[in-house]
Amino acid sequence: MKRTVDILILSDTHLGTFGSRAKTLLKYLNTIEPKMLIINGDLIDIWQFTRLYFPKAHLDVLRRIMDIIRSGIPVYYLTGNHDNLLRKFTPLYLGSFQLLDELELEIDGKRTWIIHGDKYDKTIKARLPAILGGTAYHCLIIADRLFNRFTSIFGIRPIRISKGLKDFSKKMAKKVNDFEQEALNVAIENQYDSLICGHVHRYQMRTVTNEHGSIFYLNSGDWVENASSLEFNNGKWRIFRYEVDFENTETEASKVNV
């Protein structure tokens, strides 16, 4: 029996890349029935896309999303930096489906602003270095998984080289510009109660305060490294993490499977 979720937020699935954990995402999507689905950017990685690589599991994720749309459930697709070509078509309204750059909702009486977040990230303004960095990152993801499949034979604990590199690069970029803080400052200035982002591949849920006020900040993480999403049920948000929250029998397999 499928779980009912009042609001489901996914981001940074990066379908069409070797790093995308599409099989894991598909298992997750097949266990839930969302009453509203928000895809917060980078569903398909247009930067890395090639027609030579789009496996069945990646296509099946899109089919599952199409099934949700066809059922009449509200689906909002918010554009990100890796699918920014879609911004040429926003806003687009097709029945229960909406393609937008950002979304404002009242959720449980709270004004909530939902954006991918790349608009406030100055580190991606230089397109070529950003694309090359993304390519290198996904190559490291592949190396991670091959290495960990081999070492798992000997009972060695998995390591995440790509995650460490990404965390390091983000920490360095933070010294130049903290896009999250900039977005949060804008959200507080506009008197939102909550801000929800993607983009950084780091799930979060915290209250942020500055001299002008405070706001509840959430980030849905990604389906490359963390296999995480945001779920809203019965007036409460929670971070769903596949390895922690899914069936225990799937935990070890999901750590090494694409």
Q: H/E/C letters for each residue in 156-188?
A: CCCCCHHHHHHHHHHHHHHHHCCHHHHHHHHHH
The domains found in the chain, sorted by start residue, are: 3-256 (3.60.21.10)
Q: Are strands 228-233 and 236-241 parallel, antiparallel or unpaired?
A: antiparallel
CA atoms within 13 A on the CB side of 98: 15
pLDDT (average), residues 219-234: 95
Cβ–Cβ < 8 Å for 73, 37: yes
SS3 35: coil
pLDDT (average), residues 35-59: 91
Neighbours of 1 (CB within 10 A): 5
Cβ–Cβ < 8 Å for 15, 62: yes
Is the confidence at residue 101, as pLDDT, over 70? yes
Write out the DSSP string of 179-246: HHHHHHHHHHHTT-SEEEE-SSS--EEEEEEETTEEEEEEE---SSSS-EEEEEETTEEEEEEHHHHS
For residues 51 and 42, give the distance between their C-alpha atoms in angstroms, rounded to a whole number: 17
Mutual orientation of helices 22-29 and 56-70 as an angle, nearest 10°? 30
For residues 111 and 193, give the distance between their C-alpha atoms in angstroms, rounded to a whole number: 5
pTM of the model: 0.79
Write out the DSSP string of 48-112: T-BTTB--HHHHHHHHHHHHHHHTT--EEEE--STTGGGGGG-SEEETTEEEESEEEEEETTEEE
For residues 224 and 18, give the distance between their C-alpha atoms in angstroms, rounded to a whole number: 9
Is the confidence at residue 239, as pLDDT, over 50? yes
Q: For 136-167, write each residue's pLDDT tens digit.
A: 555 666 666 555 565 656 666 666 655 555 55
Banded model confidence at residue 127, pLDDT cuts 50, 70, 90: low
| Range scoring the smallest mean pLDDT among 101-105, 114-118, 137-141 | 137-141
Is the confidence at residue 124, as pLDDT, over 60? yes
For residues 166 and 225, give the distance between their C-alpha atoms in angstroms, rounded to a whole number: 10
For residues 37 and 26, give the distance between their C-alpha atoms in angstroms, rounded to a whole number: 15
| pLDDT score at 164 | 56
| pLDDT score at 175 | 40
For residues 31 and 168, give the distance between their C-alpha atoms in angstroms, rounded to a whole number: 34
SS3 18: coil
| Residues contacting residue 146 through CB under 8 Å, at least 6 positions apart | none
Measured torsion, CA atoms of residues 140, 56, 26, 239, in degrees rounded to the nearest 10: 30
